[in-house]
Amino acid sequence: MSQLALIPVNPDMSTTGYDARGLANASLLASQFRQIYLYLMLLETAYRYICQNGIKLSK
């Protein structure tokens, strides 16, 4: 999780009014869900292409 180190963390809630750690974790989780979603879309596209056209290894 190298992305977590890039997010500045301010655990003192008295200065910001909210917990920065919870916000950072939610943002990280959302980006991971977005990556998983895009990967699944890519798999679905490849699956449809193979189903329609088959796999032609030789010309």
Is the pTM here over 0.75, yes or no? no
Residue spans per domain, the chain: 3-53
∠ CA 16-26-4 to the nearest 5 degrees? Answer: 85
Give the model confidence (pLDDT) of 8-34 as tens digits: 555 555 555 555 666 777 788 888 888
10 within 8 A of 20, measured Cβ to Cβ: yes
Residue 15: predicted pLDDT: 53
**Stretch 32-56: mean pLDDT:** 90
